[in-house]
Amino acid sequence: MSKAMQQATCSCGFSVTSGDEDEVVAVIQTHAHDEHKKEMTRNDVRAMMKDV
Ligand SMILES: [Zn+2]
């Protein structure tokens, strides 16, 4: 039962790690919007993700 975790790190250093890709996308989208006034698509976030 080893499930890959996904990690995405913002250019500012903020990072989120979760086993739930939807959660990673949601957290990064909210962060980008609130902190950078930037809208990120799901594909934008997925491009930042790596397995950890
Ligand atoms: Zn950021």
Residue 3: the pLDDT is 76
Strand partners, 17: 7
> Which token pair is 49?
């993700």
Quote the ligand 1 centre to 11 CA distance (angstroms). 6
Residue 2: the pLDDT is 63
Q: DSSP string of 1-52?
A: --PPPEEEE-TTS-EEEES-HHHHHHHHHHHHHHHH-----HHHHHHHEEE-
pLDDT in tens, the chain (52 residues): 567 899 999 999 999 999 999 999 999 999 999 999 999 999 999 999 999 9
Residue 26: the pLDDT is 98
Quote the CA–CA distance of 1 and 28 in Å, as a whole number. 26
Residue 1: the pLDDT is 57
Protein residues placing their CB within 5 Å of the ion ligand 1: 10, 12, 14, 35
